[in-house]
Structure formats: structure tokens, C-alpha cells
């Protein structure tokens, strides 16, 4: 786990549920939609994600950079997750990204994460790993 | 889309439009109920309060809904009196809004309504949202005993229901109904040990009743689905179920209010109970 992600998880672990929610909403507010042109390829679509998230991964000298689109205006959790993944994984190597747990969304969102949201957010992490490994 | 009053519903007054809500904010109590716990805090309709399906509506220990004291505490905290018109709305095409309405009705609260199209329609119409959370003066509300007899059914009741060849509607996805899958697409398995459906149940996925914008279909379309295809009749005793009772509360609302069925019960034990019960009959197809 890289330093930024450790810091985010530590900070979240010290917050109560309400403060955690506002922290995540603030992150979602920082989300920047991709400039990639539509229509997006289905290959870039995160499976089982209700927020209609698309992901692109760019390799620059064996370091990886993430770009997201969240098409559902209600995709607040997906936007927060995208910002966390970008802030913590951009510039890392494949080996470093592979150390990230698939269950990262549960560490971030905790008990407030519903089943549907959980599955979609885990899919975001898995698709990042899939792209860097293939 | 036709006005709600022109769609042929038996009880059209239980459904209100986004425009009606916008024009009546001061006269009602708006309740937002979502699956996503961030949504309300990220922005909600002015004057809306949040009722969370886990935190506010479920008992924290026992698998059951809140008791009479907890309901009293909830409604008085958000300024509701027995005369308050309560309008529910939320994400996921009002899944959780109809679920919350159903729980409120177990406690006998009258004047419950659903905002047609839910939160997404409001947002798509570019109507305002706020992050300001209003608090309300504590209200007077008597302690009311929950009545599970009219709109809720338990497993023993379901067993009796199927022995009498009465009607059931399984509102889960078709692969869940056939037993091909133990959970809906994109959701984890919650531990049901058997796949399939309750014997005699017809498959009518909950989303059959809504349009692409989240509004409810007109009455004639609903009758086509539930009466011609699923062979229901207004005089039938009907049990609806899904996985934990949330999707089926949506269909309960459609049958009870929009189509005027007088005897519809939601089996909230649903497949997470039935799919694990020892010895109960299961059908697959």
C-alpha cells in the first residue's frame, strides 16, 4: 500500500459515520470527468456498477495513470472511489497496484456500504488491476 | 408522460409529481430514503429529512423492523404528527422510498405518498438540491403498536398461502427466479443455500412496473403485466417477495395503490429466509 492510500485509510478510520460521509462527498466533489470522446467502448465499462463508470488506464514508462467517467449523476460513491484510486495509484507500477486489496471499498466505506454499491466499487478496483496486468 | 390523474390508477392521490412536491414543500414532510448513504448528504430536496433503511427502520439486533417506541422517537424527531402528509422519494427508482412507506403504513400512518420518478427524475429536471440539513421541532405523535396483519406476511403464513393455491409474485430477476442465480446481477450472494422460487409464484421482476425515467407505468400497462401475463385478479390474495422485501415493497405499492388490490402482503423474509429454510418446498424452472 502506498503512502497516500495509507493516509486516507487512517484518516477515515478516525472519523465517525457522518464525518466520513462528508469526507467522501468532498472527495467526490473533486472528481474530474474524462475528456475522452463518446461513445465509450464497452471494454472500458466497469462491470456490475450501477453508476455507469468507465475506466481508462495509461502506461507511461511502466507507471500507470487512471482516467474515469461516471455517467450516473447519483454516482457519488463511485466518484469518491475514483478520486481515491487516482490520488493513490497514479504513478505506481504494476507490482505496486497489484498489492491493493480488492476489498479496498469496504475499508473506505465501511458498514455504510450497501451490497449493490460494494459490488460495483470492488469491480472498479478489479478493472484497474485487470488493465495493468493485460 | 400522462399526468398522474390521467393514468387510470385506482388511488392516484398516493402518487405525486416532482412539480407537485416543488409547489408543496411547506405543507408536507419529505422523506428521502436511499440505498447509497452518501446521496442525501451530498444534496437533497429542500426540507427533506433522511430516513435510512438500516439505521432508522430496522431493529439493530433482531431481524425485524423498529418497534413502537423507536417509531415514535423517529417520527417525533422529524416533526411528523398523525396528520402530516409524508412524501417519500429516493434513489433506485424509489425502491427504498416504497420500503419506507410500507414500514410507515405498518404503524398506521395515513397520508403517505411517493414522488413519481424519485430522486433521479428530480435531478434530471435540474431542480434544486441543497446540503443544508433542516431540523424540526419535536412533534406530538402517540405511541402506536405496529400492525403486521394487513400488509406483511411471515413464513408460516406463506406456507398456508401456497397450500391454499393462492397467488404469489416473485419480483426478483428471472435468473434468481429460475434458480440459475442465488442473487441479482452485480450483488453478492447473501447466503441463500437453495436457488429457485416459492412453489406457484409467478415471475414479474419489479422493474416491469416502471418507465425508463423511473416513473410508474400507466394503469393499462400495469394491468397487462400483472393481470394478463401474471394472471392476477383484483380480488386475489397476493403475496409478493424478493430477497429481503425491498424490491417487493415496490410491487406491493403498485398492486395495492395503483391497481387497487385490497389484499396484498409483502413477505419480507423473502428468499434470504425461504432459500435457507429446512424442508420447505422450492420450485425451479
Chain B nearest C-alpha distance from A60 (Å)? 32
Residue-wise pLDDT tens digits, B126-170:
999 999 999 999 999 999 999 999 999 999 999 999 999 999 999
Q: How confident is the model at residue B54 (pLDDT cuts 50, 70, 90)?
A: confident
What grid cell was written down for A120? 460495483
As given in the structure block, the three cell numbers for residue A121 are 466499487
**A83 to A11, A14, A33, B251: CA distances (angstroms):** 15, 20, 10, 37
Q: For chain A, which residues lie within 8 Å of any Cβ of chain B, measuring from their own Cβ?
A: 18, 21-22, 24-25, 28, 47-50, 73-74, 76-77, 80, 112, 114-120
Q: How much is the ipTM here? A: 0.81
Mean pLDDT rounded to a whole number for chain B: 94
Rounded-to-integer distance, Cα B96 and Cα B206, Å: 13
B87-113 pLDDT tens trace: 999 998 999 999 999 999 999 999 999
pTM: 0.90
Tens digits of residue pLDDT in B174-223: 989 999 877 666 555 566 889 999 999 999 999 999 999 999 999 999 99
Partners of A74 on chain B (C-beta within 8 Å) are 36, 39, 91, 119-120, 123
A49 to chain B: closest CA residue: B186
Closest residue in chain B to residue A48, using alpha carbons only: B186
**In this structure, are residues A72 and A94 in contact, taking their beta carbons and an 8 Å threshold?**
no
pLDDT at B189: 57
Backbone φ and ψ for B81, nearest 5 degrees, come out as: -110, 170
Residue of B nearest to A74 (CA): B39
In whole angstroms, what is the distance from residue B134 CA to residue B25 CA?
A: 13
What is the H or E stretch that residue B199 is in? none
Q: What is the pLDDT of residues B219-268, one digit of tens each?
A: 999 999 999 999 999 999 999 999 999 999 999 999 999 999 999 999 99
- Phi, psi for B239 (deg, rounded to 5): -115, 135
- Asked if A114 and B35 come within 8 Å (Cβ–Cβ), the reply is yes
| pLDDT tens digit at each of 134 positions of chain A | 556 888 999 999 999 988 999 999 999 999 999 989 999 999 999 998 888 999 999 999 999 999 999 998 889 999 999 999 999 999 999 999 999 999 899 899 886 677 777 888 999 999 999 999 99
Confirm if B61 and B85 have CB atoms less than 8 A apart: no
Amino acid at each position: 500500500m502506498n503512502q497516500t492510500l495509507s493516509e486516507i485509510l487512517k484518516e477515515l478510520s478516525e472519523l465517525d459515520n457522518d464525518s466520513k460521509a462528508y469526507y467522501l462527498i468532498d472527495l467526490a466533489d473533486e472528481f474530474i470527468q474524462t475528456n475522452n470522446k463518446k461513445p465509450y467502448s464497452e471494454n472500458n465499462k466497469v462491470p456490475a456498477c450501477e453508476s455507469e463508470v468507465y475506466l481508462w488506464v495509461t502506461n507511461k514508462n511502466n507507471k500507470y495513470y487512471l482516467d474515469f467517467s461516471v455517467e450516473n449523476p447519483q454516482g457519488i460513491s463511485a466518484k469518491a472511489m475514483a478520486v481515491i484510486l487516482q490520488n493513490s495509484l497514479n504513478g505506481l507500477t504494476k507490482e505496486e497496484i497489484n498489492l491493493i486489496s480488492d476489498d479496498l471499498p469496504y475499508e473506505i466505506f465501511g458498514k455504510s456500504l450497501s451490497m449493490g454499491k460494494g459490488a460495483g466499487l470492488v469491480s472498479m478496483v478489479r478493472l484497474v488491476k485487470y488493465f495493468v496486468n493485460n | 408522460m400522462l399526468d398522474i390523474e390521467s393514468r387510470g390508477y385506482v388511488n392516484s392521490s398516493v402518487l405525486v409529481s416532482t412539480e407537485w412536491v416543488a409547489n408543496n414543500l411547506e405543507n408536507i414532510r419529505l422523506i428521502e430514503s436511499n440505498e447509497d448513504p452518501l446521496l442525501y448528504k451530498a444534496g437533497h430536496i429542500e426540507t427533506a429529512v433522511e430516513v435510512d433503511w438500516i439505521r432508522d427502520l430496522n431493529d439493530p439486533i433482531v431481524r425485524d423492523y423498529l418497534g413502537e417506541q423507536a417509531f415514535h422517537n423517529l417520527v417525533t424527531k422529524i416533526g411528523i404528527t398523525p396528520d402530516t402528509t409524508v412524501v417519500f422519494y429516493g434513489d433506485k427508482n424509489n425502491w427504498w422510498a416504497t420500503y419506507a412507506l410500507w414500514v410507515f403504513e405498518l404503524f398506521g400512518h395515513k397520508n403517505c405518498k411517493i414522488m413519481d420518478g424519485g430522486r433521479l427524475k428530480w435531478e434530471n429536471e435540474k431542480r434544486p438540491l441543497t446540503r443544508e440539513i433542516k431540523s424540526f421541532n419535536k412533534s406530538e405523535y402517540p405511541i402506536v403498536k405496529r400492525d403486521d396483519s394487513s400488509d406483511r406476511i411471515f413464513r408460516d403464513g406463506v406456507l398456508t398461502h401456497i397450500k391454499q393455491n393462492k397467488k404469489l409474485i416473485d419480483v426478483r430477476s428471472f435468473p434468481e427466479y429460475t434458480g440459475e442465480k442465488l442473487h441479482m446481477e452485480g450483488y453478492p450472494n447473501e447466503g441463500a443455500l437453495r436457488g429457485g422460487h416459492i412453489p406457484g409464484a409467478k415471475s414479474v421482476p419489479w422493474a416491469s412496473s416502471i418507465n425508463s425515467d423511473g416513473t410508474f407505468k400507466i394503469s393499462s400497462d400495469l394491468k397487462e403485466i400483472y393481470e394478463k401475463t401474471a394472471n392476477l385478479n383484483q380480488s386475489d390474495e397476493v403475496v409478493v417477495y424478493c430477497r429481503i422485501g425491498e424490491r417487493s415493497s415496490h410491487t406491493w405499492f403498485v398492486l395495492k395503490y395503483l391497481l387497487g388490490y385490497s389484499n396484498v402482503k409483502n413477505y419480507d423474509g423473502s428468499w434470504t429466509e425461504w432459500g435457507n429454510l429446512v424442508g420447505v418446498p422450492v420450485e425451479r424452472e
